[in-house]
Chain A
Amino acid sequence: MTRTDPALPPRLEMRGLGLRFGAVRALDGIDLAVRPGEIVALLGDSGCGKSTLLRTIAGLERPDRGTVRLDGADVGGVPPEARGVGLMFQDYALFPHLTVAENVRFGLHAHPGKAARAVATARLQQVGLADREAGYPGTLSGGESQRVALARALAPGPRILLLDEPFSNLDRRTRDRVRSDTLDLLRETGTTTILVTHDPEEALGFADRIALMRAGRIVQVGTGDDLYRRPISRFAARFFGDLVEVTGTCRAGHVATPFGACPAPDLPEGAGAVACWRPEAIRLAPVGEGLPGRVVGRRFLGATAILAVEAAGFDASLPLPVSGTDGRGPGDAVGLRCDEASTFIFADGMD
Chain B
Amino acid sequence: MTGAAQALDAEDLPTPRPKGRATRLRPRTFAWTVAALVLAALVLSPVASLVRAAALGDGALWPHLLAHVLPRAVWDTGLLLAGVGALVVVLGTGAAWLVSAYAFPGRRWLEAALLLPMAVPTYIVAYAYLDLLHPIGPVQTALRGWLGYARPRDFVLPELRSLPGCILLLGFVLYPYVYLPTRALFLMQAANLIEAGRMLGRAPSAVFLRVALPLARPAIALGASLALMEALNDIGAAEFLGVRTLTVQVYATWVNRSDLPGAAQIALVMLVAVLALVAIERWARRGRGFAGTAQRPRALARRALQGWRAGAALALGLVPVAIGFLIPATYLCRAAFARVTRMGWPETILAEIGHTVLYAGLATGLAAGIGFLVAAGPRLLPGPFGRGMIRVTSLGYALPGAILAIGLLGPLALADTILSDVLTRLFGVAPALIGLGTGGALVIAYLIRFLAVGTGTCEAGLARIPPSLPDAGRMLGRGPAATLARVQWPLAWPAVLSGALLVFVDCVKELPATLLLRPLNVETLATHLYGEAARGTYEDGTVAALLIVLVGLVPVVVLMRLGTWRAAAATTRP
In whole angstroms, what is the CA distance A90 to B471 when docked? 12
Interface pair A61/B6, CB less than 8 Å apart: no
From residue 491 to 547 of chain B, which have CB atoms closer than 8 A to chain A? Answer: 491
Given A74-B11, A76-B9, the answer on whether A81 and B478 have CB atoms closer than 8 Å is: yes
22 residue pairs from A and B, CB less than 8 Å apart? A18-B14, A58-B471, A60-B21, A60-B475, A62-B23, A64-B16, A64-B19, A74-B6, A75-B1, A77-B6, A77-B24, A79-B24, A80-B474, A80-B475, A87-B472, A93-B466, A93-B468, A93-B471, A97-B490, A107-B477, A153-B475, A156-B476
Is B25 engaged at the interface, CB distance under 8 Å to the other chain?
yes
Interface pair B472/A95, CB less than 8 Å apart: yes
Is A132 engaged at the interface, CB distance under 8 Å to the other chain?
no
Which residues of A have CB within 8 Å of B479? 79, 81
Which residues of A have CB within 8 Å of B477? 81-82, 107, 109-110, 156
Of the candidates A62, A78, A86, A97, which one forms a contact with B475 in the assembled complex, judged by CB atoms under 8 Å apart?
A: A86
Question: Given A80-B474, A87-B475, A107-B475, 17 more contacts at CB 8 Å?
Answer: A20-B19, A22-B19, A60-B474, A64-B17, A77-B5, A79-B474, A82-B477, A85-B475, A89-B472, A91-B468, A93-B469, A93-B472, A95-B469, A107-B477, A109-B478, A110-B477, A156-B476
Binding site for A on B (CB under 8 A): 1, 5-6, 9, 11, 14, 16-17, 19-25, 466, 468-469, 471-479, 486-487, 490-491
Interface mask (A167-203 → B, CB under 8 Å = 1, otherwise 0): 0000000000000000000000000000000000000
Interface size range of chain A in the complex: 35 or more
Tell me which of A21, A75, A79, A110 has the highest count of chain B C-beta atoms within 10 A of its own C-beta: A79
Interface pair A81/B1, CB less than 8 Å apart: no
Interface pair B24/A81, CB less than 8 Å apart: no
Interface mask (A82-105 → B, CB under 8 Å = 1, otherwise 0): 100111011101011100000000
In whole angstroms, what is the CA distance A139 to B17 when docked? 43
Which residues of B have CB within 8 Å of A91? 466, 468
In whole angstroms, what is the CA distance A162 to B491 when docked? 26
Is A136 engaged at the interface, CB distance under 8 Å to the other chain?
no
Interface pair B471/A60, CB less than 8 Å apart: yes
In whole angstroms, what is the CA distance A21 to B486 when docked? 30
Which residues of A have CB within 8 Å of B491? 95-97
> 5 shortest A-B CB distances, which residue pairs?
A107-B476, A93-B468, A65-B14, A93-B472, A89-B468
Which residues of A have CB within 8 Å of B21? 60-61
Interface mask (A274-287 → B, CB under 8 Å = 1, otherwise 0): 00000000000000
B462 to chain A, nearest CB (A): 14
Which residues of B have CB within 8 Å of A90? 468
Nearest residue, chain A, Cβ from B467? A93
Which residues of B have CB within 8 Å of A62? 17, 22-24
In whole angstroms, what is the CA distance A344 to B140 when docked? 97
Which residues of A have CB within 8 Å of B25? 79
Which residues of A have CB within 8 Å of B5? 77
Is A259 engaged at the interface, CB distance under 8 Å to the other chain?
no
A297 to chain B, nearest CB (A): 36
Nearest residue, chain B, Cβ from A61? B22
A20 to chain B, nearest CB (A): 7
Of the candidates B1, B14, B469, which one forms a contact with A77 in the assembled complex, judged by CB atoms under 8 Å apart?
A: B1
In whole angstroms, what is the CA distance A321 to B25 when docked? 58
In whole angstroms, what is the CA distance A73 to B25 when docked? 19
Interface pair A67/B22, CB less than 8 Å apart: no
In whole angstroms, what is the CA distance A91 to B472 when docked? 11
Interface pair B22/A79, CB less than 8 Å apart: yes
From residue 100 to 122 of chain A, which have CB atoms closer than 8 A to chain B? Answer: 106-107, 109-110
Nearest residue, chain B, Cβ from A107? B476
Which residues of A have CB within 8 Å of B476? 81, 106-107, 152-153, 156
A122 to chain B, nearest CB (A): 17
Which residues of A have CB within 8 Å of B14? 18, 64-65
Interface pair A58/B6, CB less than 8 Å apart: no
A116 to chain B, nearest CB (A): 12
Which residues of B have CB within 8 Å of A81? 474-479
In whole angstroms, what is the CA distance A85 to B471 when docked? 12
In whole angstroms, what is the CA distance A96 to B1 when docked? 34
Is A319 engaged at the interface, CB distance under 8 Å to the other chain?
no
Is A44 engaged at the interface, CB distance under 8 Å to the other chain?
no
